[in-house]
Amino acid sequence: MSNEKNVKVLILGSGPAGLAAALYAARAELEPIVLTGMQLGGQAALTHTIENYPGFPEGVGGAQLGELFQKQAENFGAKVEFDMANEVDLSQRPYTVRTDSGEYKAETLIITTGANPLHLEIPGEVELTGRGVSYCATCDGWFFKDKKVVVVGGGDSAFEEALFITRYASSVTLIHRREEFRAGAILQNRAKEHPKMNFILNTVVTEAVGTDKLTSLKLKNVQTGEESSIETDGLFIFIGHSPNSQIFKGQVEMSDLGYILVNDKMETSVEGVYAAGEIADPHFRQVITSAGMGAAAAIQATRFLEEREAVHS
Ligand code: NAP
């Protein structure tokens, strides 16, 4: 194939795990190539402000942090390509990765394809996505200036994003299916003290209503069974994530939920194939943990290649 490229380290995904792996592999002079996937910088790039990545006492923009990661990796020779892997063949080394632009033959592969937001799977959700229903406050918050917004979820994401939307919206109502929240105490306190924030507990959204745009939501109290509705211009859904592992199915070992299984060296069940960040981490999902996993994967890939070279030289 004319557009075939041979690479020592191919990294799929450009979030914190992918770009940290690129930095380490580049510094080992392995000239890694990063295929960005859909979103340069990964989910972190969609986060307005990251306050818990060490070294930035005032916080740092998610997109800005991604750009810094990228620049640092490129300074040492990493190449970042705006390309998307569609198919992989992990049956023999070098591994084959088919993309929008051609085909790669990779001696080692680092999978950092991350995760996507889960959907509520209620009537109206798909039809009204982009017309009031959203999964990204940084992307869409601005459209809800002086409007009423509902946020669904009880974890850190829901609280963080709800607080962000208060910059624009006239009110933000957080709807959660239980009495207790998973979100950390600092975020909970900030939200509870915020004058624009309201809470509806023990309640689920059963339908998003509207023709051209979202106008209201149908609700159900899970304790009493009572049904009601709430008028709203926006519905932001932050109820967790599902891993982007479809193209690796049947080729590497995965959990029931589709997370790629790795050992403490980020090795998958296939020799020379590593996974790092949210694709392999249903537990922590932090920029710092993902970056750490990416660095570990690149160090291990470097050792793997050095051992092979020593045997064959
Ligand atoms: P999460 O912690 O898994 O929380 C998901 C929330 O959505 C839970 O409250 C869950 O309710 C609710 N939920 C799930 N399915 C639902 C459904 N079908 N209908 C209604 N509600 C539903 O997810 P996350 O908030 O995205 O956070 C993921 C990880 O990233 C966590 O480890 C979190 O700490 C981390 N994170 C950290 C930060 C930060 O440190 N600043 C920011 C964002 C995320 P239940 O509680 O009833 O299960």
Secondary structure of the chain in the HEC alphabet? Answer: CCCEEEEEEEEECCCHHHHHHHHHHHHCCCCCEEECCCCCCCHHHHCCEECCCCCCCCCEEHHHHHHHHHHHHHHCCCEEECCCEEEEECCCCCEEEEECCCEEEEEEEEECCCEEECCCCCCCCCCCECCCEECCHHHHHHHHCCCEEEEECCCHHHHHHHHHHCCCCCEEEEECCCCCCCCCHHHHHHHHHCCCEEEECCEEEEEEEECCCEEEEEEEECCCCCEEEEECCEEEECCCEEECCHHHCCCCCECCCCCECCCCCCECCCCCEEECHHHHCCCCCCHHHHHHHHHHHHHHHHHHHHHHHHHHC
Q: What pLDDT does 313 receive?
A: 67
The neighbour count for residue 115, using CB atoms within 10 Å, is 22
Q: How far is the CA of 115 from the centre of ligand 1 (A)?
A: 13
User: Residue 34: beta bridge partners?
Assistant: 11, 80
pTM given for the model: 0.82
Query: What separation in angstroms does the CA of 174 have from each of 15, 137, 138, 206?
Result: 28, 14, 17, 15
Do 212 and 76 have their domain in common? no
Q: How far apart are CA 260 and CA 254, in angstroms?
A: 4
- What integer pLDDT is reported at residue 2 of this predicted model? 55
Same domain flag for 127 and 112:
no
| Alpha carbon nearest to ligand 1 atom 11, residue | 154
Given 192, 211, 237, which residue is the final one in a domain? Answer: 237
In this structure, are 66 and 201 located in the same domain? no
Are 18 and 55 members of one domain? yes
Residue that finishes a domain, picked among 189, 216, 237: 237
| The total number of structural domains that make up the chain | 2
Distance 152 CA to ligand 1 centre (A): 10
**156 CB less than 6 Å from ligand 1?**
yes
Residues 60 and 32 in one domain: yes
Based on the domain organization, do 281 and 210 belong to the same domain? no
CA dist 46 → 69, 158, 306 (Å): 15, 14, 37
CATH number of the CATH domain containing 305 = 3.50.50.60
- Residue 267 is predicted with a pLDDT of 98
pLDDT at residue 3 in the model = 72
59 in ligand 1 pocket by Cβ < 6 Å?
no
Mark which of 190, 214, 237 sits at the end of a domain.
Answer: 237
Please return the burial class of 206, using the count of CB atoms within 10 Å of its CB with bins 0-12, 13-18 and 19+.
middle
Q: Are 130 and 205 within one domain? A: yes
Same domain for 22 and 34: yes
Same domain, yes or no, for 140 and 159? yes
Q: Distance (Å, rounded) from C-alpha 19 to C-alpha 40? A: 10
State whether 245 and 112 are in the same domain: yes
Asked whether 227 and 219 are in contact (CB, 8 A), the reply is yes
Tell how strand 234-237 and strand 133-134 pair up: parallel
Residue 182 CB less than 6 A away from ligand 1: yes
> Residue 292: which domain range?
4-116+241-312
Q: How far apart are the first and last CA of the chain?
A: 29
* 238 close to ligand 1 (CB < 6 Angstrom): yes
Helix 156-165, helix 185-193: angle, nearest 10: 30
Helix axis angle, 287-312 relative to 16-27, nearest 10°?
A: 40
In the reported structure, the alpha carbon of residue 155 is separated from the centroid of ligand 1 by a whole-number distance in angstroms of 4
Question: 9 and 111: one domain?
Answer: yes
Domain match, 145 and 282 both: no
Residue 158: partners with Cβ closer than 8 Å, 6 or more residues away: 151, 152, 174, 176, 183, 238, 239
Owner of token pair 């998958």: 268
Q: Show which residues are catalytic.
A: 136, 139-140
pLDDT per residue, tens digit, the chain (313 aa), is 457 899 999 999 999 999 999 999 999 999 999 999 988 999 888 877 888 899 999 999 999 999 999 999 999 999 999 999 999 999 999 999 999 999 999 999 999 999 989 999 999 999 999 899 999 898 789 899 999 999 999 999 999 999 999 999 999 999 999 999 999 999 999 999 999 999 999 999 999 999 999 999 999 999 999 999 999 999 999 999 999 999 999 999 999 999 999 999 999 999 999 999 999 998 888 899 999 999 999 999 999 999 988 777 6
Contact 71, 63 (CB under 8 A): no
